[in-house]
Structure 1
Amino acid sequence: MKKRRLLYLLIAVLGTMFLFGCSKEEAKKEDSTKEEKSTIAELEDGELKIGLCPEYPPFESLTDSGDMEGFDISLAKAIGEELGVKVTFVNTPWEGLVPGLNNGDFDMIMSAMSPEEATSATDAVNLSDAYYELGDAIAIKKGDTSIKSQKDLADKIVGVQAACTAEEAAKGLDSKGIKVKELKSYNRNAEAFAELENGRIQAVVVSFPYAVTQSKEGGNFDVVNDPLQKADLVAVMKKGSDDFTAKFNDALKSVKDSGKYADIEKEWLSVK
């Protein structure tokens, strides 16, 4: 009798656990569906909110008047035209972009972000098709002839922005047999360039377009175009927003096919 009661109790417990697990999965599906409908509804209402960190020229930066400009800005607006929506931008610190997306502060991220950067903290995101392939370069102080390739970074103090693809690329130098004296990570690229200008570090590993922008603007830096690695840039959406991601990809393709993409690339990423 006791054994039978224990058996009934065990069956009841297992049944409850099964139902609880199913209800959790159903809740997740419902939440994902609600988020998808919310984003699509905003598109239908004619607005698309994009989160970005405007500290990365020529992809995104602030003008003296506080307006945003750059490759990502122009491309996002062109994609918005294809979607038939007004694009608005939400100024967000780099480290707050993915949390802000999942918190509903904006509909997507478009901020020179690679898949690795987008998924470093969570895999609960959707990724668009790649919209640009970005290569790293080495920025040095103007007139420094001691660094002509990545091999010359051996025994040098090298700076990078933390939690980005350039940091991973710099860390990978060791596996190539290139042992830097010290690898220093900074919150922002601008901090690393200030340290380079002041002579506290000897090189900065950063994207090629950013390095060229810095060399043009101040004239205090040279660029060594010896890519450590390359990375795709993608737009980032909430996990499960498959319809929205597909609509974005279709619009991106249309912008490329129309020739608008080439014009935007020439305007912002030409190194001549």
Structure 2
Amino acid sequence: MVSFDHKRKLGQLLTASTLLGVVALSSRAFAANDTVEHIIQSGQLRLCFESGYIPFEMTSKSGRYIGFDIDIAKHLAHSLGVKFVPVNTAWDGIVPALKTGRCDFIAGMTITAKRNLSVMFADKYMQVGQTVLISPKLKNKIHSYRDLNKARYTIATQMGTTGAQAAKKYLYNAHIDLFDTSADAVLQVANGKADAFVYDMPYNAIYIAEHKGQLVHLDKTFTFEPLGWAIRPDDFNFLNLLNNYIKQIQGDGTYQKIYNKWFKSYTWMSQVH
């Protein structure tokens, strides 16, 4: 007959063994989802983005991906001693691409509470906001985004973006047309099929520089939008790496150098047109 003390010790051993098993399984699961470990083992840093977000991510005439986010990610890959791998992805499928492991992080995503329910964000690396491009025929009629909040106006923007969210929130009386890409949306205004285009300020500012006289830019931002890198939830090792990297390049001048290349000069435009 097994004594009570022996049963109690056996139970304690089984409990301890079970706990150790759970910890071991949890550790293996975490290791499998640890992006830093994957980067080390694969020798690659994979960035998800949607090409066409000027000047953050674009496709050059030669088929190369270029832009502010591309240069930052390339520099990060070089700093880690691994290969940079661009993963061009349609915006409406970019979060699923991250979650299924097609890439390690997403560039150029506005940090919002709703998005934070499905992804984790590194610290912001830039602050932008929404502005409006309007048809020249409205130049003397529309002086603010508020003036567009009327049923007679049609607003074009890209679906799934904070531009679409801002249009729905602030221009709810207007008719809002959503398009797959920003290029398709802004073309509606250029072709006279929409009255205004709502999108991120850097994109709109550079569009105006490229297409002088075609549209009018109401360049005062009307939203606050910090941009950050999106990563998979609970990926704290990678979060720590990205946050420390941003602090480093902002402190040593690398960030400013890359920023000036894409936002203070327009010489790169010849590569995409």
Instruction: Please indicate, yes or no, whether the TM-score normalized by the shorter chain is above 0.5.
Output: yes
Offset of residue 90 of structure 1: 0.9
User: Given residue 216 of structure 1, which amino acid in structure 2 is its aligned partner?
Assistant: A
The residue that corresponds to 1:15 in the other structure is none
User: Given residue 53 of structure 2, which amino acid in structure 1 is its aligned partner?
Assistant: Y
User: Given residue 162 of structure 2, which amino acid in structure 1 is its aligned partner?
Assistant: T
Deviations 1:79-134 (A, max 9, x none): 22333332211111111211111111111111x111239x54x8342211111111
- Give the number of equivalent residue pairs: 242
1:140 to 134, 140, 155: 134
Cα pair 1:60 1:72 within 8 Å, conserved? yes
The residue that corresponds to 2:183 in the other structure is 190
2:239 aligned with 1:237: no
The residue that corresponds to 1:18 in the other structure is none
Measure, in 1, the Cα distance between the counterparts of 2:188 and 2:243: 39
The residue that corresponds to 2:149 in the other structure is 154
Give the structure-2-normalised TM-score.
Answer: 0.80
Structure 1: which 5+ residue stretches go unaligned? 1-22
Measure, in 1, the Cα distance between the counterparts of 2:229 and 2:117: 14
The SS at the match of 2:193 is: coil
Deviations 1:146-182 (A, max 9, x none): 22211221322111211111112122215xxxx6431
Offset of residue 193 of structure 1: 1.2
Give the structure-1-normalised TM-score.
Answer: 0.80
The SS at the match of 1:200 is: coil
2:29 to 31, 35, 39: 31
The residue that corresponds to 1:213 in the other structure is 206
Q: Within 5 A, what are the aligned runs for 1:13-162?
A: 30-36=28-34, 39-43=36-40, 45-110=42-107, 112-116=108-112, 119-120=114-115, 123-142=117-136, 144-145=138-139, 146-155=141-150, 156-162=153-159
Offset of residue 44 of structure 1: 5.5
Deviations 1:209-234 (A, max 9, x none): 11112112222222111212021111
Measure, in 2, the Cα distance between the counterparts of 1:92 and 1:188: 12
Measure, in 1, the Cα distance between the counterparts of 2:23 and 2:118: 15
The residue that corresponds to 1:167 in the other structure is 164
Measure, in 2, the Cα distance between the counterparts of 1:43 and 1:147: 53
Measure, in 2, the Cα distance between the counterparts of 1:45 and 1:182: 48
Deviations 1:29-87 (A, max 9, x none): 74333211x54242365321111111211111101111011111111122223333322
Measure, in 1, the Cα distance between the counterparts of 2:164 and 2:174: 15
